[in-house]
Amino acid sequence: MIQNYAENARLFWEVGFNQRNLDAITHLFAPNYVNHAALAGTPPGPEGQKQLMKRLWSAFPDASFEIEHIALDGDTVICIGTMRGTHEGELWGISGTGKSIRWRQCHLLKVNEEGQILEHDAVRDDQGLLRQMGVVPGS
């Protein structure tokens, strides 16, 4: 089953996120899923993950995530990639700016024996995102 760990993480990004398939979340995420890197106000569990994705799609209607590197360390999948999109809707109280963004991210996904995602944590370049949106100084 361990070989499915990285595949399930890839499916989350490619099918769940990029293809906007919320049903995939039901199958890929464990019922007791915890997101340690959720945006403020996101409830726990798979339903919270669905809400988070809807919020991101609302803010960036053309959002896509490109996996650049994926690796497995025991029961944890490490996924490095970039989300791209156009900031058209509200995010963190910031109205759409119409600016294109490139948001670098590193995700850690802990999985159970069935390959379902149990926990998520992330390191994201949020400051870089805010600069690209034009709400903090910098280039």
In a domain, 34, yes or no: yes
In a domain, 16, yes or no: yes
In a domain, 139, yes or no: no
Could you give the CA distance from residue 68 to residue 18 in angstroms, rounded to a whole number? 14
pLDDT at residue 115, rounded to an integer: 86
Give tens-digit pLDDT for 65-120.
Answer: 999 999 999 999 999 999 999 999 999 899 999 999 999 999 999 999 888 999 99
CATH of the domain at 114: 3.10.450.50
Q: In the 3-class helix/strand/coil scheme, how is 9-54 assigned residue by residue? A: HHHHHHHHHHCCCHHHHHHHEEEEEEECCCCCCCCCHHHHHHHHHH
In a domain, 124, yes or no: yes
In a domain, 66, yes or no: yes
pLDDT above 90 covers what percent of the chain? 78
Give tens-digit pLDDT for 105-117.
Answer: 999 999 998 889 9
| pTM to 2 decimal places | 0.90
- Per the structure, the count of domains in the chain is 1
